[in-house]
């Protein structure tokens, strides 16, 4: 193919990462990255369906692209990702100007489907109901990649989710949990490090249960250790000795890859946060002092209705253990307000737990009914919008108080900052992140490239960020600006 492409991503890091892989496949097929939807030859919308506003945004964007397609019939529009998986044929019906609709299990087919579209002259819809576990290439991280930034990379360690949180559509659109072989993950991190990547983020819906399916498959029905399909492949020798590839072991293995200076991961599930994981975070210098531990609610009855598998007390105990084990730990979370049946007392309990947890930040969401999930059926228990909005405001105030205090506690300290680039509001300053994932805007000392590690003296703090000035360049970047990584 020739021409330019643009990929627009809606949603989470998992989707951002799938988009990098789609971009990698398009470039491997001859297309070049463009930055303007108006002139692009191929437009990919990689969709999310976790909340209803994501649906609205997609259909709004498709409405806008209809007039573009009327003006330039040659432009090709691809809708990929979770919403495509959920809505399937409905997208083609609502937006017949879309050329290709593809689901979450066939990211690797993006280019083939575009070729099929051209050959047949008709729109193509391909939604696979599940991922083929034996095929290592199907993990998005095993495909060619165009990273958004050259110095940091996402690595998928697990796809899908085996939990059944009552509010969540993820298991329906991403399928059951499948862990990527241990050795393949480490090999990918080694390749990334050789390209100059110094920060990796391990991605999965419940990273702490990483390896559970591999262990089950190795043990076989009788409980004895047997060889199985996942042992075949580049990492076979390593896998044979690693019968229980736990997440903690993975953190240690990835963290000790030469050149990797920072390891992050998201998301762990509180019910599965094990002491081994905390120990690995404490011991392995490159694993960052940041834990994103989704709380969802502080009310035990709501947690139970959500099927989260922990109580508020249990959550706080796990958090206390993490803080006791890991020096200088920053903690962030996800909280849903207005889950069906949430009373004033439930909302109050969430405020209390949030205050006690002293979060450094939180993604707070108003509950959004997702058709097909258990909670969406509880229509008569839906919380009125204005009530949910008022609860959200109070929750935000509690989280802002602790995140401001957490940031203020950094004033006067020297922080290691990974530089991302010029600050959007004031281009004379640079922006970056500390190991705790705090945003920092700072005055540079001389020319500093994105991907550098610098020391910043923190002089001031707000709820959302730290401010300061650079005192020293710690490590210069070694990555190239664009990195196509070929799959092995
Ligand atoms: N696997 C992660 C976990 O269990 O923590 C969550 C992944 S989900 C993509 C990210 C967040 O979206 C969740 O933690 C939850 O707070 C929020 N979320 C999911 N479904 C939602 C819904 N129906 N309404 C509002 N927020 C929702
Ligand atoms: Fe959704 Fe729960 Fe799985 Fe997270 S753990 S992806 S919230 S079902």
Mean pLDDT for all residues in the chain: 89
Report the share of the chain in percent with pLDDT over 90: 71
CA of 209 to the centre of ligand 2 (A): 12
Query: Taking residues 403-409, what's their average pLDDT?
Result: 98
pLDDT at 139: 65
pLDDT band at 131 (very low <50, low <70, confident <90, very high): low
CA of 168 to the centre of ligand 2 (A): 6
pLDDT at 239: 47
CA of 169 to the centre of ligand 2 (A): 8
CA–CA gap between residue 250 and residue 99 (Å, rounded): 40
Tokens coding 86: 């959920």
> Which of 160-164, 227-231, 341-345, 418-422 has the lowest average pLDDT?
227-231
Query: Taking residues 323-327, what's their average pLDDT?
Result: 98
The closest of 290, 195, 292, 210 to 250, measured between CA atoms, is: 210
pLDDT at 232: 42
pLDDT at 241: 39
Beta strand 414-422 with 453-461: parallel, antiparallel or unpaired? Answer: antiparallel
- Is the pLDDT at 40 greater than 90, yes or no? yes
Q: Is 183 helix (H, G, I), strand (E, B) or coil?
A: helix
Q: Is 296 left (phi over 0), alpha (psi -120 to 50) or beta?
A: left
**Ligand 1 atom at shortest distance from the alpha carbon of 12:** 9
pLDDT at 214: 78
Beta strand 330-337 with 290-292: parallel, antiparallel or unpaired? Answer: parallel
CA torsion 16-17-22-25 (nearest 10°) is 150
Within 8 A by CB and 6+ apart from 482, the residues are 146, 147, 150
**Ligand 1 atom at shortest distance from the alpha carbon of 14:** 9
CA–CA gap between residue 338 and residue 315 (Å, rounded): 20
- List beta partners, residue 292: 332
- In this structure, the residue with its CA closest to atom 25 of ligand 1 is 367
- In this structure, the residue with its CA closest to atom 12 of ligand 1 is 50
Pocket around ligand 2 at a 6 A CB cut-off: 161, 163, 165, 168, 170-171, 205-206, 269
pLDDT at 103: 87
pLDDT at 223: 41
**Ligand 2 atom at shortest distance from the alpha carbon of 267:** 4
Q: Is 121 helix (H, G, I), strand (E, B) or coil?
A: coil
- In this structure, the residue with its CA closest to atom 15 of ligand 1 is 334
pLDDT at 222: 41
Q: Is 23 helix (H, G, I), strand (E, B) or coil?
A: helix
Q: Which ligand is nearest to the CA of 297?
A: 1
CA 181 and chain centroid, separation:
19
- In this structure, the residue with its CA closest to atom 2 of ligand 2 is 165
Query: Taking residues 241-252, what's their average pLDDT?
Result: 75
CA torsion 299-303-306-307 (nearest 10°) is -160
Question: Could you tell which of 205, 272, 293 is best to mutate to test the pocket of ligand 2, judged by most ligand atoms within 8 Å of the CB?
Answer: 205
Q: Is 169 helix (H, G, I), strand (E, B) or coil?
A: coil
The closest of 191, 239, 250 to 215, measured between CA atoms, is: 239
CA of 115 to the centre of ligand 2 (A): 35
- In this structure, the residue with its CA closest to atom 1 of ligand 2 is 168
CA–CA gap between residue 261 and residue 474 (Å, rounded): 12
Within 8 A by CB and 6+ apart from 151, the residues are 196, 197, 198, 199, 418, 450, 451, 477, 479
CA–CA gap between residue 174 and residue 49 (Å, rounded): 11
Bond into 239 cis (ω within 30) = no
Q: How far apart are the first and last CA of the chain?
A: 23
- Is the pLDDT at 86 greater than 60, yes or no? yes
pLDDT at 173: 87
Query: Taking residues 132-149, what's their average pLDDT?
Result: 61
Report the share of the chain in percent with pLDDT over 70: 89
**Ligand 2 atom at shortest distance from the alpha carbon of 205:** 6
């Amino acid at each position: 193919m020739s021409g330019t492409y643009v990929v627009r991503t809606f949603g989470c890091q998992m989707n951002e990462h799938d988009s990098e892989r789609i971009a990698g496949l398009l470039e491997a097929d001859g297309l070049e990255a463009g930055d303007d939807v108006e002139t692009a030859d191929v437009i990919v919308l990689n969709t999310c369906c976790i909340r209803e506003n994501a649906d609205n945004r997609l259909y709004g964007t498709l409405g806008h692209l209809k007039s573009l397609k009327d003006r330039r019939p040659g432009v090709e529009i691809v809708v990929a990702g979770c919403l495509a998986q959920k809505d399937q044929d409905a997208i083609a019906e609502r937006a017949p100007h879309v050329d290709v609709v593809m689901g979450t299990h066939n990211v690797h087919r993006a280019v083939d489907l575009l070729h099929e579209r051209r050959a047949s002259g008709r729109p193509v819809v391909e939604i696979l109901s599940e991922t083929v576990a034996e095929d290592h290439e199907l993990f998005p991280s095993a495909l060619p990649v165009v990273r958004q930034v050259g110095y940091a990379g996402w690595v998928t360690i697990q796809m899908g989710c085996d939990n059944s949180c009552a509010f969540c559509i993820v298991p329906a659109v991403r399928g059951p949990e499948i862990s990527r072989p241990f050795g393949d993950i480490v090999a990918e991190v080694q390749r990334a490090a050789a390209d100059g990547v110094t920060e990796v983020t391990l991605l999965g819906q419940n990273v702490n249960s990483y390896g559970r399916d591999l262990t089950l498959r190795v043990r076989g029905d009788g409980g004895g250790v047997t060889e199985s399909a996942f042992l075949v492949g580049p990492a076979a020798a390593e896998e044979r000795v690693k019968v229980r590839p736990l997440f903690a072991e993975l953190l240690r293995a990835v963290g000790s890859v030469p050149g990797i200076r920072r390891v992050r991961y998201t998301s762990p599930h509180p019910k599965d946060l094990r002491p081994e994981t905390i120990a690995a975070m404490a011991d392995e210098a490159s694993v960052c002092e940041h834990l994103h531990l989704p709380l969802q609610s502080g009310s035990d009855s709501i947690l139970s209705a959500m099927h989260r598998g922990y109580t508020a007390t249990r959550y706080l105990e796990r958090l206390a253990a993490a803080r006791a084990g890991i020096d200088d730990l920053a903690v962030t979370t996800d909280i849903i307000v207005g889950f069906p049946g949430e009373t004033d007392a439930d909302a109050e309990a969430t405020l209390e737990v949030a205050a006690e947890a002293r979060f450094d930040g939180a993604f707070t969401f108003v509950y959004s009914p997702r058709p097909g999930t258990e909670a969406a059926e509880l229509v008569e228990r839906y919380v009125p919008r204005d009530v949910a909005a008022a609860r959200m405001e109070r929750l935000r105030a509690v989280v802002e108080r602790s995140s401001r205090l957490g940031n203020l506690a950094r004033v006067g300290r020297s922080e290691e900052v990974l530089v991302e680039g010029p600050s959007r509001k004031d281009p004379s300053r640079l922006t970056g992140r500390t190991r705790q994932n705090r945003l920092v805007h700072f005055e540079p000392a001389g020319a500093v490239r994105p991907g550098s590690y610098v020391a910043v003296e923190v002089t001031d703090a707000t709820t959302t960020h730290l401010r300061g000035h650079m005192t020293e360049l710690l490590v210069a970047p070694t990555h190239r600006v664009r990195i196509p990584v070929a799959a092995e």
